Amino acid sequence: MATPTAGARPDEVRRHNRTALLRRLHVDGPSTRASLAAELGLNRSTIKALVDGLAESGVVAERLPAQRTGAGRPSLLVLPQPQAAVVMAIDVRVEQVAMAMVGLGGDILGRHSWNLHRRTREPGEVITHIADSAKLLADELDVTAVGVGVSVPGVVRRADGMVHEAPNLHWTDVALGARLTAVLQAPVHVGNDAELGALAEHLRGAARGSSDVVYISADVGIGGGVISSGTPLRGAGGYVGELGHMVVRPGGRHCYCGCQGCWETEIGEAALCRALALPEDAPRGAVVAELRSLAADPSSVSHRLGEFTEWLALGLVTVVNMLGPELVVLGDLFTALPQVVVDRVRATVQQRSLVSRAVGGTRIVSSPLGRDAKLIGAAELAFEPVLGLV
């Protein structure tokens, strides 16, 4: 039922239903009027009035489906029009910034990215480059972004986009939200990268339809985004948790966070490089190539990645015991792990986690969105306040 409550004012009900319809089309794609009516619990005349209104203002269009299914006259499909609302998504990673313009419905209309290194990673430098690229992208595509979403690998205050600590970027107390709002002249929302990865998987990836999900972000550092009972888990003051800094190996390697043996020091990119006998700062391409060649030779996996697999599994046992997800999505760099590693991790979690046993086994899968998860999540962060206004 899309109606908020019996007796609400007609204009409130209409706005509420319009937003629900748009969100449905934006997230789940084209659909017929009849299906929309059934899914949203609205009658056909209400759907007709809403679709007609949205079509008139160019937000949706109606078309015959490309393929006919069944006999009789095919129903028209209602399609969201990408140009009706475009947002800018920015994924600030440790070694790269990726930007995209994303249209209503989730299509990426155009993208741009550049590599970061020690010198160009300074916040002022990154912000200037973002502003320049935003202008180029907008001109190229002839669009104006109505909102901006930004993903950052660090501890972020959602209310105002203050980046408290992004250790792998060497950023501390950067007022990223305020500074980007000033240069981009559009509402800017900043989120933790792992949280946005989780959001993307929940809306458009492996976690569609799952209400309790943990997304493991594996870039240079390790992070985790948690969906609990269908909504993102957030801590006090809007700060999200940092799964990468659970201590899995007391007395282990020193971590910049002040602990020893954090999950990140045991399974982050540097640890993976050590396991693969690559230099700790090997280029990402070399790491992925080495993982691919290992995947082709499963017999050597346990020799080379046995200890890595054990630490990955051990951390996930704790994550599953603490948070009770039905699904764990391994993101980013971990999508390149050989399937045999994922299988072994799944078996270990199933065997050792009493919560996993209680829920009849926790699913553990590779992210289908891969490297784009955080960019897509940043776009959705920007879309959220926009959908009610289109």
- H-type alpha helices, 280-389: 284-295, 301-323, 339-352, 354-358, 373-386
Among residues 103, 149, 167, 221, which is the contact residue for a copy of itself, using CB under 8 A?
A: 167
7 scored as a contact of a copy of itself (CB under 8 A): yes
- The Cα–Cα gap between 188 and 177 comes to 6
Q: In whole angstroms, what separates CA 222 from the centre of its chain?
A: 14
70 scored as a contact of a copy of itself (CB under 8 A): no
5 scored as a contact of a copy of itself (CB under 8 A): yes
Angle at 321 between CA 318 and CA 323, to 5 degrees: 100
3-class state of residue 61 by DSSP: strand
- The Cα–Cα gap between 21 and 76 comes to 16
Stretch that binds a copy of itself, among 101-109, 182-190, 242-250, 289-297 (CB under 8 A): 242-250
Among residues 241, 268, 331, 338, which is the contact residue for a copy of itself, using CB under 8 A?
A: 241
Q: Cα-flanking dihedrals φ and ψ of residue 80, to 5°?
A: -70, 145
71 scored as a contact of a copy of itself (CB under 8 A): no
**Residues 127-156 as x/- pattern, contact with a copy of itself by CB under 8 A:** ----------------------------x-
- The Cα–Cα gap between 239 and 158 comes to 7
233 scored as a contact of a copy of itself (CB under 8 A): yes
Q: How many residues bind a copy of itself (CB under 8 A)?
A: 52
Stretch that binds a copy of itself, among 87-95, 279-287, 294-302, 355-363 (CB under 8 A): 355-363
What burial letters (b/e) apply to 238-249, b meaning 16+ CB within 10 Å? ebbbbbbbbbbb
Write down the least CB distance from residue 265 to a copy of itself, Å: 13
Write down the least CB distance from residue 208 to a copy of itself, Å: 15
- H-type alpha helices, 169-241: 176-184, 193-204
Write down the least CB distance from residue 316 to a copy of itself, Å: 10
**Contacting residues toward a copy of itself, per CB under 8 A:** 4-9, 155, 164-165, 167, 211-212, 224, 228-229, 233-237, 239-243, 245-250, 257-259, 314, 317-319, 321-326, 351-355, 357-359
